[in-house]
């Protein structure tokens, strides 16, 4: 991949990667992580998938790994401060969806892996193939995980007290 091709690749994918990252980290961390995603992608450009439908998923996989690394470095006290602070930005698509108390309660009862796969499909617009690449699992395993997450969420939504 030439530098010009990489520049085109960067411009074409930055908005979607920024959206993917923004739904998972604090607002002030999005730019740094996006920058790191493309730095890693440039370094590993020889390993980049050649199929256009796998390219974005590959970038999401890099982003998810960077986000996981960030979370591992974050201390519990910082998480508490962030959780108790008042947001200063507009709500994410995810927060708008879970604004309804019943939806939020059901969402919070889901396991983190169930939330993750539902968010990738519903909020990030990834295909099941892209999700399988991001999670490092087979397409069949991703489909099964998605179906189970949907069933769990639907079951929680039916139990309205």
> Which residues lie below 8 Å from residue 92, measured CB to CB, with a gap of 6+?
22, 23, 123
Q: Report the pLDDT value the prediction gives residue 49, as an integer from 0 to 100.
A: 82
Q: What is the pTM of this model?
A: 0.60
Rounded to an integer, what distance in angstroms lies between the CA atom of residue 27 and that of residue 76? 18
Q: Report the pLDDT value the prediction gives residue 33, as an integer from 0 to 100.
A: 94
> Over the range 117-133, which residues count as b (16 or more CB within 10 Å of their CB) and which as e?
bbbbbebbebbbebbbb
**23-45 pLDDT, tens digit each:** 999 999 999 999 999 999 989 88
Hey, what domains does the chain have and what are their CATH numbers? 1-86 (1.10.1740.10), 90-161 (1.10.10.10)
Q: Report the pLDDT value the prediction gives residue 161, as an integer from 0 to 100.
A: 40
**87-143 pLDDT, tens digit each:** 556 666 666 555 567 777 888 899 989 999 998 888 888 899 999 998 899 999 999
Closest CA to 57 of 135, 122, 139: 135
Whether the predicted pLDDT of 48 surpasses 70: yes
Rounded to an integer, what distance in angstroms lies between the CA atom of residue 127 and that of residue 37? 20
Q: Report the pLDDT value the prediction gives residue 137, as an integer from 0 to 100.
A: 92
Q: Report the pLDDT value the prediction gives residue 77, as an integer from 0 to 100.
A: 46
């Amino acid at each position: 991949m030439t530098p010009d091709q990489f520049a085109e690749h960067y411009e074409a994918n930055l908005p979607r990667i920024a959206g993917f990252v923004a739904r998972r980290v604090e607002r002030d961390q999005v730019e740094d992580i996006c920058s790191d995603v493309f730095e890693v992608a440039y370094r590993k450009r020889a390993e980049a998938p050649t199929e256009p439908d796998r390219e974005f998923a590959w970038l999401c996989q890099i982003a998810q790994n960077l986000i996981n690394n960030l979370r591992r470095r974050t201390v519990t006290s910082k998480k508490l401060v962030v959780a108790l602070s008042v947001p200063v930005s507009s709500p994410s698509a995810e927060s708008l969806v879970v604004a309804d108390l019943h939806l939020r309660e059901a969402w919070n009862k889901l396991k983190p892996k169930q939330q993750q796969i539902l968010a990738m499909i519903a909020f990030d617009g990834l295909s099941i193939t892209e999700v399988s690449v991001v999670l490092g699992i087979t397409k069949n395993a991703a489909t099964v995980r998605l179906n189970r997450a949907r069933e769990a969420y639907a079951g929680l939504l039916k139990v309205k007290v």
